[in-house]
A and B are shown apart, each in its own frame.
Chain A
Amino acid sequence: MRQRVVIALALCVNPKLVIADEPTTALDVSIQAQIIKVLKRLCADHGAAVMLITHDMGVIAETADRVAVMYAGRIAEIGPVSDVIKRAKHPYTHGLMGSIPVIGHDLDRLTQIEGSMPRLTEIPRGCPYNPRCPRVFDRCRAERPDLMPVDRSRVACWLYDQEVPAHG
Chain B
Amino acid sequence: MAERDAPLVRVDGLSKNFDVSPPFLERVLARQGRTMLKAVDGVSFDIPRGKTFSLVGESGCGKSTVAKLVVGLIRPTAGSIQFEGADLASLTSRAQMQPIRRRLQMIFQDPYASLNPRWRVADIVAEPIRAHGLIEDKGAVLRRVGELLEQVRLSARDGEKFPHEFSGGQRQRICIARALASNPEFLVCDEPTSALDVSVQAQILNLMKDLQRELGLTYLFISHDLAVVYHISDYLGVMYLGRLVEWGDARAVFREPKHPYTRMLLDAIPDLEMSGRRRIPVAGEVPSPISPPEGCHFHPRCPFADDRCRREIPGDTPTATGEVRCHGIEEGRPMTLERATAEV
Q: State the A residues within 8 Å of B (CB).
A: 1, 26, 28-34, 36-37, 55-59, 61-62, 81-82, 85-86, 95-96, 98-104, 106-113, 116-117
Contact = CB atoms under 8 A, between A and B. Distances in A.
Contacts of B268: 29-30, 32-33
11 contacts: A1-B285, A30-B284, A30-B285, A58-B271, A61-B272, A96-B199, A103-B230, A108-B209, A116-B167, A116-B170, A117-B167
Nearest to A60: B270
B307 to A, nearest CB: 25
Contact of B274 (A61, A96, A99, A100): A61
Given A33-B282, A61-B272, A85-B274, A99 B169 contact: no
Q: Which 5 A-B pairs have the closest CB atoms?
A: A58-B270, A99-B202, A28-B58, A101-B231, A110-B202
A58 B271 CA distance: 5
Nearest to A31: B285
B224 interface: yes
Interface SS of chain B: helix
A57 B227 CA distance: 11
Given A29-B226, A55-B198, A110-B202, A100 B209 contact: no
Nearest to A116: B167
Given A29-B269, A58-B271, A116 B200 contact: yes
Given A30-B58, A61-B274, A99-B199, A104 B230 contact: yes
Nearest to A36: B270
A89 to B, nearest CB: 17
Interface in B248-299: 251, 254, 264-266, 268-274, 279, 281-282, 284-286
Contacts of B169: 116
A30 B57 CA distance: 10
Given A30-B58, A57-B272, A58-B269, A109 B224 contact: no
B203 interface: yes
B274 A101 contact: no
B197 A55 contact: yes
B205 interface: yes
B63 to A, nearest CB: 12
